[in-house]
Structure 1
Amino acid sequence: MTLTAIDLFCGAGGLSAGLEMAGFKVLAGVDLFEAAGKTFVETHKHAAFIGEPIEDVTIEKLMEKTGLKKGELTVLAGGPPCQAYSVYNHQRGMHDKRATLFREYLRIVEGLQPEWIVMENVMGIYSIGGGEAVRAIKYELKQLGYDVEEKVLKAEEYGVPQERRRVVFIGNRINAPIRHPAPTHGPGLLPFTTIREAIGDLPALENGEDGGTVKYAHPAKGDFQEFVRGDQNTVENHGAPRLGKVNIERLQHIPPGGSWRDIPHELLPAGMQRAKRSDHTKRYGRMTWDGLSCTVLTKCDIHWGAYIHPQQDRAVSVREAARLQAFPDWFVFAGSKTDQYIQVGNAVPPLLGRAIGQTIREIIEDGVSIRIAAE
């Protein structure tokens, strides 16, 4: 039995990588972001990549590229661009064109008739239009014959060393049970993956240093490092952004777990000198070795979150951000450094994708076993 998937809005391919870890064969990815497309092509050499606006992607083209006929695809996955739903976008609303891109996903669902669908998005989708987007997604999929349930999944509960909340819709048209993955990490389960376990083997960097291809600083220690390193002997994308002199001076005052509150008042940016102590809780935050990362965004900008290395006076590298997203080290990100951070921050953590894929696969295999037993 071959389990197949197509990934819409695939970006660099984090969800695709997770589904493949769960035993699915990803046949195609669709995205308009050129740098992400280059990354996807290099990390999913067996899959077709379609670098076009989703509105221009026809059902005929998808079937031609994958060799599938209508009804043969196992899973259609994807996460429409989230900016319109995001709590960081205060002008979000259903009038925003990006908020209706999920309708393109629905068009392709109708055309391909996959057995299963997986949609991922940010928590802000619950508040847009008073929940209009969520209701519309579930109603329209129901009209197409799909039972759908959504749930907020916490990435850290699946081994990702990061606090990350995402809404995941799972549905099918084959009357199979719908189940979201059960947590594997947390109280009473495996311990959460710490930042030390995630990035502690990577070489030290000075502010602005980028050595290109580098060797690991230490032997792999622990299951997570064994997983992300695989057979790799060297690592890419490990270069520190260059921070200005005043920022370096600010960082020297911030201890592990500290933030902008630890910076002397006269060194704070003018706007933050007027801030209340209760404001901007994660700004200029320094990570702690034994904690979890805050949510990795498309900019690991120290002005906006806790993206300062636990020990070194610099911002985290693209590779460190990728590790915090649970990307294997063989995933090399293409494009400018800005493009690379965007690819990492927009991705579904592969370990979360794996958990989703494994759960769907278990349901499918249970159904096959029941049918065989009945025969």
Structure 2
Amino acid sequence: MGGPPCPDFSIGGKNRGKEGDNGKLSACYAELICQQKPDFFLFENVKGLWRTKKHRTFFEALKTQLIQSGYVLVERLINAIEYGVPQDRERIILIGFRTSLLKDFGIKINSNIRILPEAYFAWDKYIIHPINKVVSLPWPTTNSFQENSLLPYPDSIPLPLTVEYWFRENDVLNHPNAQHHFQPKAGIKKFASVDEGDVSKKSFKRLHRWRYSPTACYGNNEVHLHPYKIRRLSVAEALAIQSLPKNFSLPANMSLTNMFKTVGNGVPYLAAKAIAKTMLNFLETREWDNEQPVNLRL
């Protein structure tokens, strides 16, 4: 279970695709699965691999390779916010099960099956906030920035999906990584000029305390600013946005660059946990005996 490096497929990355040094690792990942033949696997990557035309061709070729190696597949474009993460983060999830494993479970399939119907795989079971409902809520947009300002919570939105809720929940000011943030050598004036909630630019996005965060990605000069302080986010705050438990921290001897790279490359904890539970539920299911064979082709 894992996600090969994604910069070559990212819309905001180098976009080199399968020919890039990182892109080639996705092919290696699929090749290792075909060689080692685990009972099941999970492949995670950015939505660009799934949505961008030239990358999608490569993605489909990987799927064909896995199918020919004896796997039945199920996939979904997920958003971490659906699982209670205070972050708008889309990722493609591809899961494969060996045909022999499914037969052992009593799932009656024909030899030419290619895609596992979603009716068998309960993607929605652990979704808390369906994405179409979340995005239609009356989220606050922007407020003028004022250092250490107070802003009342608008009770028309779910509090656990807000940045401020997670800052308080994880006690970020007293967290072991609380002081791990980049100290600006210049640009304080620029920091103060960005409104709270203005995430319209590629860099220098100021989060809104009563809204979810854009994708926590801190490479390619992307900078996220604290909602009401004149500084960038701390590692403790970034971990909170990834929905990690309060007691999780990164070693103090890591460089700041590697800390933020580690956080940004990670799958949000609550999303990973929900998908793992969905897979576990499927693997523990034995109520297939009365199902009719499914005959679907890729």
Same fold (TM over 0.5): yes
Q: 1:197 to 1:143 in 2, by over 3 A?
A: same
Q: In 2 relative to 1, CA 248–131 (structure 1 residues): closer, same or farther, beyond 3 Å?
A: same
The partner residue of 2:234 within 317, 320, 336 is 317
Select the residue among 282, 285, 291 that pairs with 1:366.
285
Deviation at 1:203, TM superposition (A): 6.4
**Does structure 2 retain, via aligned residues, the 8 Å contact 1:199–1:320?**
yes
Report deviation, 1:287: 1.3
State how 1:1-375 maps to structure 2 within 5 Å. Answer: 77-126=1-50, 127=52, 129-173=54-98, 174-175=101-102, 179=121, 181-182=123-124, 183-186=127-130, 187=133, 191=158, 193-200=161-168, 215=174, 235-239=175-179, 240-245=181-186, 247-258=187-198, 281-299=201-219, 304-305=222-223, 307-334=224-251, 335-367=254-286
CA–CA separation in structure 1 for the residues paired with 2:171 and 2:271: 27
> Aligned equivalents of 1:249 and 1:185: distance in 2?
38
Change (3 A) 1:80 1:87: same
Q: CA offsets, 1:94-140, max 9 Å, x none? A: 22232221232223323332222110000111326352221112101
User: What amino acid maps onto 2:177 in structure 1?
Assistant: N
What's the offset of the Cα at 1:160? Answer: 0.6
Are the equivalent residues in 2 in contact too, given 1:84–1:96 (CA < 8 A)?
A: yes
Return closer, same or farther for 1:258/1:360 CA change in 2, 3 Å cut-off. Answer: closer
Note if contact 1:122-1:166 (Cα within 8 Å) is conserved in structure 2: yes
CA 1:96–1:284: 2 relative to 1, 3 Å: closer
SS at match of 1:137: helix
8 Å CA contact 1:161–1:292 kept in 2: the answer is yes
Q: Which runs of 5+ in 2 are unaligned?
A: 108-115, 138-156, 290-298
Is 1:151–1:180's contact at 8 Å kept on the other side of the alignment? no
- Identity, % of aligned pairs? 28
Between Structure 1 and Structure 2, how many residues are aligned?
A: 242
C-alpha contact 1:85 1:93 (8 A) present in aligned 2: yes
User: Separation in 1 of the partners of 2:232 and 2:95?
Assistant: 36
| CA 181–342 in structure 1, closer or farther in 2 if over 3 Å, else same | same
| Secondary structure, counterpart of 2:249 in structure 1 | coil
CA RMSD of aligned residues (A): 2.6
Aligned AA for 1:332? S
Q: TM-score, normalised by structure 2?
A: 0.73
Q: Name the CA shift for 1:136/1:199 in 2 (closer, same or farther; >3 Å).
A: same
Aligned counterparts of 1:284 and 1:354: Cα–Cα separation in 2? 30
Give the alignment's TM-score, normalised by structure 1: 0.59
CA offsets 1:285-317 (integer angstroms, 9 cap, x no match)? 221111010111134x8x635x11111111100
**Distance (whole Å) between structure 2 residues aligned to residue 323 and residue 344 of structure 1:** 10
2 CA distance for matches of 1:159 and 1:324? 11
SS at match of 1:333: coil
